[in-house]
Amino acid sequence: MIEAEARSGWRRLHPATPLLNLFGGGYVLLLFLAFAGSMFDGRIGAPLWPLVAIAVGAVVLAYLRFKYTVTDETLVITEGILFRRRRVIPRSRIQHIDLKAGVIQQLVGVAQARIETAGGRDAEATLRYVSKAEGLRLRDTLVKLPGTADAAEGATAPATVATQPQTEPPTFARRITPLELAVAGATSNRAGVLVGLLLGGDFLFDFMPTDWLLRRVIPPEYLETEAAVRALFESAQGDFRAFLIGAGILALVFGLLGWGLSVLLTVVRYFEFTLIAAGRELRVSYGLLTRRETGLRRSRVQNVLIEESILRRWLGLATLRVQTAGYGASVKSEEKMEILAPIARRDDLPEYLGAVFPDLDFSSVQWRRSHPRARRRLFVRRALVVIAASIGFWMLFTPWALLILLGLIPAWLLASLHYRHLGHARLGSYVLTREGLWNRRTYIVPLRKIQALHMRETPFQRRLGLGTVTIETAGSPFEWHAPRSIDLGRAYGLDLMEGLAADVRATGLSF
């Protein structure tokens, strides 16, 4: 049946594929060594030329043996030189299609197409490389389920023509401007990470012109044998005022540099970001040096994550991500949750979320906070840090360091603020969780996507009668926290899990 449908529709990869694979596989170095060696009486090059010929022949032959076709129900791929391999991927099981093109691929006009399902450690299929037009055709064809209904998981209707996908008018479209991306980079917590990396790198390798600045505030006796950045920390023992001034200079220099790099990286990564919702599909495209074009089905979304750094909360901004179950272990951690909006106004969140979950009324959510004893636990965690820092500085530097114990007051205030951002909610057929002070994360999980529920209790939580309820969905990335509600009363948490489990069973879905 598949052969009969696909016989006239077999396609090959882009003709530039062998050359690009030779570059990507490192064979160019082998070719260079062979050529360079041949210039010296063949002492090096002669043994390498046969290897070059074999490598080039293998790449070309692999290209010739790789074919694919799209039928009304499946994607069929054949490949292999010595061992032939044939893969049949049902279109109803495809989670999303990801097109990725680096600088060289963009110049050639090709992209790598990665087809993801919910199984396997790697992508179910990778087409390396197809033309940009062919990649977009595959994205629009494979993401769309055959027929017109997509109400249930895996439901199919009468087949449509696979090679001519019916395009639907967009129901939601957003494009992020470079100025908005600059704001996203400036308000990202990444700036703080970059500051730490730059400061640590300069401390070890001394590649920044900070010595010139610090030599004007650090006493000369500390500069005889050590670089100025290292001498800054030694000066704290003899001249605390110089230490504070030097630390302030470092904070200013590295802060501005880290902030600038964060803005630049964000603009480059999400350049010309576009989100389009058409029918039951979501299409995302972005990137300057590496261009990504992703298509996914709305019904395949496992959960939505709303991220709000503390600065973004003050400005009424947020970042949105969606997760499907199709990311293998080889996918980079930052790509395991597809970006839905690198920056968005809080007032626009209901529109964005409506593009993914049309029946969700996010504006009417009512949060239920964690148990009041959670505030005590949050305070103890911070108090231990303050006490340890005070004792450490007292033993190493000066008894005045005991004044650091005054930090217990802001520790209590921070614990109280953190407590206000803990909670969970039920909203129709969705469960929501929220956590985080410096970077608040809000998860929205459809009940029909819940795979498992469990409660975790640390020794300190057990003493307080608390626990954390975690909600597992398919394909949760290890690098990201699963949706969870922290520090619930133990009895209430168990009741919550039983209630959610009953609601999941009531959906009637089985996989």
pLDDT in tens, the chain (511 residues): 455 544 558 999 999 998 888 776 655 555 555 555 555 555 555 565 666 677 778 888 889 999 999 988 889 999 988 888 899 988 888 888 999 999 889 999 999 999 988 765 667 888 989 999 999 999 888 887 655 444 344 443 333 344 455 556 778 889 999 999 999 988 887 766 666 666 666 666 666 666 666 666 666 666 555 566 666 666 666 666 666 777 777 777 777 777 888 889 999 999 999 999 988 889 999 999 999 999 888 888 899 999 999 889 999 999 999 988 766 555 555 566 789 999 999 999 999 999 999 999 998 899 999 999 999 999 998 899 888 888 877 776 667 767 778 888 999 999 999 999 999 999 989 999 999 998 999 999 999 999 999 999 999 899 999 999 999 988 665 455 789 999 999 999 999 999 999 999 988 765 4
* 53, 162: one domain: yes
Residue 383 identity (one-letter amino acid): A
CB distance 32 to 42 below 8 Å: no
Domain that holds residue 480: 301-370+422-506
* Tally of domains in the chain: 4
C-alpha torsion sign, points 343, 347, 349, 354? negative
Could you tell me if 143 and 251 lie in one domain?
no
Task: Please check whether residues 248 and 152 belong to one and the same domain.
Answer: no
What does the buried/exposed string (b/e) look like for 161-200 if buried means 16 or more CB atoms within 10 Å of the residue's CB?
ebeebeeeeeeeebebeeebbbbbbbbbebbeebbeebbe
**162, part of any domain:** yes
Residue 160: exposure state from Cβ atoms within 10 A (0-12, 13-18, ≥19): middle
On whether residue 44 sits in a domain, the answer given is yes
What values do phi and psi take at 505, rounded to 5? -65, -35
- The reply to whether 436 falls in a domain is yes
Question: Do 60 and 164 belong together in one domain?
Answer: yes
For residue 187, the 8-state DSSP code is T
Residues 356 and 395 in one domain: no
Which of 392, 418, 444 terminates a domain? The answer is: 418
- Residue pair 266/342 in contact by the 8 Å Cβ criterion: yes
Q: In a 3-state reduction of DSSP, which class is residue 334?
A: helix
The answer to whether 320 touches 305, Cβ cutoff 8 Å, is: yes
What does the pLDDT read at residue 157? Answer: 38
Asked if 207 and 336 sit in the same domain, the reply is no
Residues 399 and 487 in one domain: no
Q: How far, in Å, are 184, 220, 400 from residue 180 at the CA level?
A: 6, 46, 46
- 9/55 same-domain check: yes
Residue type present at position 490: R
Is 198 in the same domain as 114?
no
- The predicted model scores a pTM of 0.81
The residue among 256, 269, 263 whose CA lies nearest residue 199 is 256
Contacts 24+ apart (CB under 8 A), 206-214: 208/253, 208/254, 210/249, 210/250, 210/253, 213/249, 213/253, 214/246, 214/249, 214/250
The label of the residue with tokens 């305070």 reads 379
Phi-psi region of 26 (alpha: psi -120 to 50; beta: other; left: phi over 0): left
Burial class (CB in 10 A: 0-12, 13-18, 19+), 230: middle
